[in-house]
Amino acid sequence: MANLVQQYIEIAKKRNPGEPEFLQTVEEVLTSIEPVLEAHPEYVESGLVERLIEPERGISFRVPWVDDNGKVQVNRGYRYEFNSAIGPYKGGLRFAPNVYPGIIKFLGFEQIFKNSLTGLPIGGGKGGADFDPNGKSDAEIMRFCQSFMTELYRHIGPHTDVPAGDLGVGAREIGYLFGQYKRLTNRYEGVLTGKGLAYGGLAGRTEATGYGIVFFAREMLKHCGEELKGKTVAVSGFGNVAWGTVQKLNQLGAKVITISGPDGYIYDPNGVSGEKEAYMLELRSSGKNICAPYADKFPGSEFHAGKKPWEVKADLYIPCATQNEIRIEDAKAMVANGCKYLCEGANMPTTNDAIEYLKENGVVIGPSKAANAGGVACSCIEMGQNAGHTVFSPEQVYEQLETIMVNIHKHSAEASEKYGLGYDLVAGANIAGFEKVAEAMMAQGIV
Ligand code: 2IT
């Protein structure tokens, strides 16, 4: 069976040259589901894995727009509709200069299993553009979003494909995208999630990803006989996910001692709490994508230029910035500092060799596709709210979010146990996510 999995990985490599991020997640997921394939020869016979690693549809398109100087700019937009076995494609849009098919396909592939883990009826997809929102004026952002949607609207719909935000796409961008979709189609419907509260958005969606991550971390610690209260936590990033994570950690009595940006990290032994939470939002809206000004504003904190927070000693590490921010050398530093818990907030923040090293050294890992699924889970609740022409209260949302996160942890732990792997949440999440998608794909024939 190991041989067979290797063959599938070879197919992916051959078909997707020069896309290391996509191949990284394919390798991680397929290696985990090996025991499931052993138990289900019918999956092998029906070419289920060959179909799973090939997106159902991929769209690439030109996005022309005019900047504030009257100069024509051209970007490339994407939407990869990966798998619709259990529901309409669902997943965010990422606007960042490094976006290319390898990034969108890694995110789309991860989204299949993440969305399945939520227990809600959503398939997997992802999109974006190689557009850098940093330093752009509001008018430029609007023109870009309008041009992007002028192609994307043909491919999406509330029963077909429902995008949301990701890096570089927040409430402002979703607003412009929604406005243009409505103008082009003359339809007011739940085609995007992460909308503003005034026009169909869900209370609590903004903080849902971060809150969910902390609920998941709490369940991990509980399983190991510990609690969050009093723990020191090293967080990376300072965007939406980091912000929600920091807020909920403070509410539950943990102490956040780091945040970070592309410029370096902040070490704050007094804790990132109180007015510092709101300051994270200010940093983000500055459009400069740096965290250094935090150290000038809050005496007692330090800025470490060009460094990552993984060199700091903490009880729990929660990466919330971007993919592959924890590499093997970081994993070694964390283990040397006595790291026991890693809960992944960003999508695929840890390289495969770093995961192996951390596991070998007894670190309990909460994988991103399980830990950060609270965001997309609340997106699906937003779809339900829109389809039902109603409005849910924050209390209704928070309660559902917490239940969903507790269940994701439980099902991941159970799946790992079922296949004799002990408490391995990385494998368990992949297996639990895969099982439901596989069952649906089998029922629907060779499509
Ligand atoms: O990575 C993710 O799960 C997201 N960016 C959110 C996707 C969504 O559809 O809410």
- Residue 198 DSSP class: G
Take residue 49 and report the two structure tokens written for it. Answer: 């894995």
Cα of 353 from ligand 1 centre, angstroms: 25
Do the beta carbons of residue 174 and residue 195 sit within 8 Å?
yes
Taking only the tens place, the pLDDT of each residue in 181-220 is 999 999 999 999 999 999 999 999 999 999 999 999 999 9
Does the Cβ of 193 fall within 6 Å of ligand 1? yes
Q: Can you give the pLDDT at residue 286?
A: 86
Beta bridge partners of 161: 89, 157
Does the Cβ of 347 fall within 6 Å of ligand 1? yes
Taking only the tens place, the pLDDT of each residue in 243-263 is 999 999 999 999 999 999 999
- C-alpha 274/C-alpha 255 separation (Å) is 12
What is the SS3 assignment for 119?
coil
Does the Cβ of 206 fall within 6 Å of ligand 1? no
Q: Can you give the pLDDT at residue 287?
A: 84
| Ligand 1 atom at shortest distance from the alpha carbon of 90 | 9
CA-based end-to-end distance of the chain: 24
Percent of the chain topping pLDDT 90: 98
Does the Cβ of 92 fall within 6 Å of ligand 1? yes
Atom 10 (ligand 1) nearest CA:
376
Does the Cβ of 415 fall within 6 Å of ligand 1? no
Active site residue 126: yes
CA trace torsion 318, 118, 284, 302 (10° rounding): -10
- Angle at alpha carbon of residue 245, lines to 242 and 251, rounded to 5°: 140
Q: What is the mean pLDDT of residues 349-368?
A: 98
Q: Can you give the pLDDT at residue 96?
A: 98
- Write the Ramachandran bin of 128: left for phi over 0, alpha for psi from -120 to 50, otherwise beta: left
| Ligand 1 atom at shortest distance from the alpha carbon of 347 | 1
Q: How far, CA to CA in Å, does 7 sit from each of 1, 14, 45, 238, 434?
A: 10, 11, 14, 40, 19
Taking only the tens place, the pLDDT of each residue in 417-439 is 999 999 999 999 999 999 999 99
CA nearest 131: which of 86, 164, 101, 168? 168
Q: Can you give the pLDDT at residue 115?
A: 98
Q: Can you give the pLDDT at residue 2?
A: 79
Taking only the tens place, the pLDDT of each residue in 132-187 is 999 999 999 999 999 999 999 999 999 999 999 999 999 999 999 999 999 999 99
- C-alpha 116/C-alpha 124 separation (Å) is 9
CA nearest 121: which of 159, 147, 172? 159
What is the SS3 assignment for 234?
strand
Q: What is the CA radius of gyration of the chain?
A: 21
Cα of 211 from ligand 1 centre, angstroms: 14
Q: Residue 1 — very low, low, confident or very high, per pLDDT cuts 50/70/90?
A: confident
